[in-house]
Chains A and B, each alone.
Chain A
Amino acid sequence: MLSTALIVLPIAGALVVAVLPLTKTATAGLSFLIALGEVALWIVTASRFDFNSSQLQFSTSHEWVQSLGISYTVGFYGFSIWLVGATVVCSAAAIGYALWVGRDRPRAYHALMLGLTGAVVSTFVAQDLLLFYASFEAMLIPLYVLIGVWGGAKRNVATLTFVVYTMAGSLLMLAAVVAFGVTQGTFDLAQAGTSDNVWIFLGFAVAFAIKAPLFPFHGWLPITYREAPVEVAAVLSGIVSKTAVYGFLRIAIPKFPDPVHDLTGLILVLGGAGLVYGSVLAFRTSDLRGIVAYSSMAQMGLITLGLFSVNDYGLDGAVLQSVNHALITTSMFLLVGMVERRCGTGELGHLGGMARGRPVLATVLMVAGMITLAVPGSATFAGEFLIMTGVYGKGWGYAVIVALGVVLAAMYALRLISAVLHVRTGSAVRDEALDLRVGELALVVPMVACLLVLSAWPALVTESSFGGDKGSQVLTQRFR
């Protein structure tokens, strides 16, 4: 029941928000309350979850299309709890930000945001291939409108690029879903066996690689992240990209042992290339959003390295890093939005010297930046270290690439911090530009606080992602 409730609450909320003729602030406020209710519901779920068990929990199953073996089956594994947790927190923050800046046409806007949240949660708990596909695809509808209506000046090009890329992936996945499910005779992930068909595997893998995005499927990323409203970009890079992680964990890696074995080398090389290339781009780009966007791509490459090392360290690290990245990239995007609102631009050349007279902004941005660059002791450091350890099992060269990625992360994060806070006062920074307000702090600080908790206690996630079992056992035995 709890799994279904977590899906239904935001979607029902979306309908209510869309229908009730409230004022602008009341609509946004109601939507924010619903998002907070979703967080509360998640806390209840997590508190009742038995983290020592690696079984599917809170599962519900209803027949949907019996004759083809399709059912509505949802439930939680340990890692789904954490992915959903990141989702509800980040989307609450994003919706709060939309409330704070007062987006136009609030009924449509907030209905779409809540609907998006419901679709993402549904993707993370889906235990049926067709339900997974439907949820995965359903995310695109609100995103398309959110970027197309509320986006920046070049939003038309952005939506087109975004839709072309993601739909190309989704439709390949549809073909793969059809082929896999028809061959297996069921779409229930628990009952379906494994397949050794490389083409079906590629259908899934390419779809997830585009969603993440992984090098070389990242063509949609720069323009989409730049043109989307900043909180939508936060949701995109923070949680929508993590559906790819779930897809790899639950479908692509366990169900296709032979293709994974054959193609691991290629995928690891692409992941490593994405990590380095994304980091370099983040270091070279000229605006705030570009830095966060490309760093997001680099981090997804890193997480892929962890996933495809398919051992306990790598998998634990990948889940931890997914949660970390969701929280940190959402915080960073919202901070970028706050800076952009004050200065009217995100171009680094026009920014600078904002630390003077704005101590709160300086402190928060500094802390978030330090976590981004994975300073030892931070949660991201724990994640990257685990991934590095895991991927070392596949070859020392990969571990070197991860280490290089950590160094590059320091370069772009420090560049961002200094370009905003230090150097000379930028031309776009006016003296009247305020420090962070209480409302803004209330959105970012909880996420940073979550990250600090994870920094102190990363085992909270890593020890519980796969229950009592080892991650590699779960993926290579239970999920098959």
Chain B
Amino acid sequence: MIQTPNVDWFALAPELSLLAAGAIALIAAVAVPVWMRRAVAATFVFAGFVTAAVFAGYEFSRTPAPQAELADTMYRDRLAAFAAVLLAVTGAVVVFVSWAERHRDNHGEYFALLAAAGAGMIFFVSAGSLLTLFLGLEWFSIALYILVAIDTERATSLEAGLKYLIVGGFGSAVLLFGSALVYGATGELSFDAIAKAGAEGDVFFVAGLAMILAGLMFKVSAAPFHMWTPDVYQGAPTSVTAFMAAATKTAAFVLTLRVLVTAFPGESDIWTIAVAVVAVISLAWGNLAALAQSDVKRLLAYSSISQAGFMLIAVETDTARGGQALLYYLVVYSAMSVGAFAVVAARERELGRPVTLEGLGGFGWERPLYGTAMWVFMLGFAGFPLTGGLFAKFFVFSAAYDAGDWWLVLIGVAATAISLAYYLNVVRWMYMRTGPLPTPGAAVAVGGAPPREYALGLAVWAAIVVTIGSFFVVQPILDLASDAIASLTF
């Protein structure tokens, strides 16, 4: 007789609602007439994301103390619920961004995969053992590999999918090997048991920690594990890039924090240094490489590497304050990156080809909403006031200073200064055309009035509201973040 663990269906409700939505979208892909396929799939997946967010929010309020579920393989706690709400809302907004990608004959599959990826991420952030960690990671990664390559008629999309698959597979393998070493050293899989096994100082244990960390750094796209990021962000359909930039980062960061703090508290003197080093490399490399980019999606990819550097500073502090800073940062960052990629998607559809900086020429004057929005997001990334970006950086810096790492504050400040050069460059191209005009026809729309896309406009508005709103309404977000972080023991 096999003993089956007691299943807490309520804790799994967000994942299940998304899987159900994905299943409906898949059925729609074959059972619904072509003309209403997109509408049906998008509606159900949107509803799935909203339901998941509602369930996760309910779970947040009903789970004051963390509980281990399913034979200690997953946690039901506020940290997971907080991340799940953020992921589900991101997914819901991305449905709006994706809506307007109309030249596509596989809408059903697209939205089904989006829901599956979202479900995988929500499962991933609640992982409580190395096994569920790997399961969740592969779950959402496989969905993303296909999403990246879903524009089968574009060679760059296929190329990006292949690159992501190979490099991502490598990252997963490293993580899996690390898990095996940790299991070998401790004989345990669940995070709590690993922490209690007392294997500190064991060579295999430390090597396993290093490999798990490296595998997770692939997913947060921190340098030097970032090689796939620019190519994949550039080649993937822009709506997929928007989802990956925001949601993958959220999921991977939340789990990185959880696994380091829960499973490896005894080795914190080692991993704080490792994370600090990766943070510094990401800040330096991401910023410097972004300066040289002319393709806007590549530029945003490198910018996301440097943003990962800032968030790693928050992880590095190994304090509750740093954790709150990380969650606040993720909220603002998700909004800004979904918004920025949505604006790029709008321009892409106007031009009918990839958006370069030159291709943004005059965009700000032609489309005031998108121009202003892009301006808001760029200033937010750079940490300017009137956007939550200021407080995101501010909280990270104050957590680092509080933890005694004043040198990281200085490096962060220097990195912010460099990052201004390319963020403001985007604004400059949108509003300030100087010098000789670009070659005739180089930056002119394909013709006719630009398409009216209410869904995309709505997504951009949502991103603006969060980006600017998080500047004024700081304390409530911070309170939620501190409730969430209270699930971890520092």
Contact = CB atoms under 8 A, between A and B. Distances in A.
Interface string B361-393: 000010000000000000100011110001101
A206 to B, nearest CB: 12
B349 interface: no
A175 B384 contact: no
A283 B389 CA distance: 44
Interface in B385-433: 385-386, 390-391, 393-395, 397-398, 401-402, 406, 409-410, 413-414, 416-417, 420, 424, 427-428, 431-432
Given A167-B420, A171-B413, A138 B385 contact: yes
B306 to A, nearest CB: 15
Nearest to B477: A65
A30 B410 CA distance: 44
B475 interface: yes
Interface in A120-179: 130, 133-135, 137-138, 140-141, 144-145, 148-149, 155-156, 159, 163-164, 167-168, 171-172, 174-175, 178-179
A66 interface: yes
Contact of B424 (A137, A163, A179): A163
B384 A68 contact: no
Nearest to B393: A174
Nearest to B482: A67
Interface residues of B, number: 35
A182 interface: yes
Interface in A332-352: none
Nearest to A130: B394
Contact of A138 (B384, B409, B410): B384
Q: Which of A155, A156, A171 has the most CB of B within 10 A?
A: A171
Contacts of B385: 133-135, 137-138
B4 interface: no
Contact of A144 (B409, B424, B482): B424
A164 B434 CA distance: 19
Contact of B379 (A133, A141, A148, A172): A141
B273 interface: no
A178 B406 CA distance: 10
B417 A155 contact: no
Which label, helix, strand, loop or mixed, suits the secondary structure of the B interface?
helix
A99 to B, nearest CB: 21
Nearest to B382: A167
A181 interface: yes
A182 B413 contact: no
Contact of A178 (B398, B474, B478): B398
B196 to A, nearest CB: 32
Contacts of B434: 155-156
A403 B320 CA distance: 58
A73 B475 CA distance: 16
Nearest to B425: A160
Contacts of A149: 431-432
Q: How large is the interface on A (under 10, 10 to 19, 20 to 34, 35 or more residues)?
A: 35 or more
Contacts of A137: 384-385, 390
B365 A105 contact: yes
Interface string B469-490: 0000011001100100000000
Nearest to B416: A171
A65 B391 contact: yes
B401 A168 contact: no
A262 interface: no
B478 A67 contact: yes
Contact of B475 (A64, A135, A155, A167): A64
Nearest to A145: B431
A148 B401 CA distance: 36
A70 B435 CA distance: 45
Contacts of A181: 398
Contact of B413 (A66, A145, A156, A174): A174
A399 B327 CA distance: 55
B442 to A, nearest CB: 19
25 contacts: A64-B474, A65-B474, A66-B475, A67-B479, A133-B385, A134-B386, A137-B385, A138-B385, A140-B384, A145-B427, A148-B428, A148-B432, A149-B432, A156-B428, A159-B428, A159-B432, A163-B424, A164-B417, A174-B394, A174-B413, A175-B409, A178-B397, A179-B401, A179-B409, A182-B402
Given A144-B427, A145-B431, 6 more contacts: A65-B475, A67-B478, A155-B434, A178-B409, A179-B401, A182-B401
Across chains A and B, which 5 residue pairs bring their CB atoms closest together, nearest first? A134-B385, A171-B413, A178-B397, A138-B385, A148-B432
Interface of B: 365, 379, 383-386, 390-391, 393-395, 397-398, 401-402, 406, 409-410, 413-414, 416-417, 420, 424, 427-428, 431-432, 434-435, 474-475, 478-479, 482
